[in-house]
Structure 1
Amino acid sequence: MTSLYIHLPWITLFMGIVLFSNAECTIFGNINCYQCNVFNQGAREFCANGEKMMYNCSGCMKTKTRVYIHDQWLRYKYVTVISKYCIQYMNYKRPEGCYSMSADQGYIKRCYCYSHWCNTANKNSSRTLAVVVQALFALAVLNWIIGT
């Protein structure tokens, strides 16, 4: 029991580092986002060709646009496009979440987020895995400290 008190400052420091890294703290408002299905210097970057990693963003946005178009005589169809953006200059931050509006017999859904890589398709599964790995590592180090 006395060895626990001897190592308490180290345990506290280690747990603080784990919690800090888990929070994905965004110092100075700079975060990293994915970007695709946007026009860049006159060329379109498709999501199918891979998502471009963008750094030093103010926020991330993911849009889903679904419109009903008339492309041939008496033929209509729905078209859905998903785009991802790195917002670099943002004077007004919208609260994190999704906002929908109607457009051309369809809708546009814009989702804003403010943590690293949050506009990816499977953010919850990768974040859950990271939390589990960090917790297991913290427990292993804590067990090692107490055991010595």
Structure 2
Amino acid sequence: MRRISTYVIALLALVGFSVFGASPPAAAAGNPCGGSPYACADGKFYAWNGDNGARCEWVGDAPTLGSCTNKNYLVGNYGYACSGCDWIRLYWGSSYTGAYFCIPPGYGYGQATSPNLTFNKGSGLAGYGQSIWYNAASARWSGPC
């Protein structure tokens, strides 16, 4: 029961900042933060630990996801607008290794609402095609991917 209530709290926090979706379509549904991918920007990337609901956050690159490594069930990109550095590459392996999944600015994804997301970039690399949920180990800011 604690895990479910923790999940609901984290999900509500994430919904307040993002648009959920399986991929970043050009014409996404309205952003609850005001329509701009940067309306809720605080310069951070977030992940939530699915075992205890703890939130992990970074301003810079994260060669590991700390207590959220391989335990992520929610992720969100609230980076500031910048050229070539406001997307997140979420990697299967530590230190930016293996396949990755891209999170555009202003987007958040949750396991409950986007259960089929996979590491879909880097064909042939370790982790390619695997679920991002409970499998992410590092994250790096990048340009669009």
- How high is the TM-score relative to the length of structure 1? 0.26
Which of the two has higher C-alpha Rg? 1
Name whichever structure is richer in helix by fraction.
Answer: 1
TM-score (norm 2): 0.27
* Greater strand proportion: 1
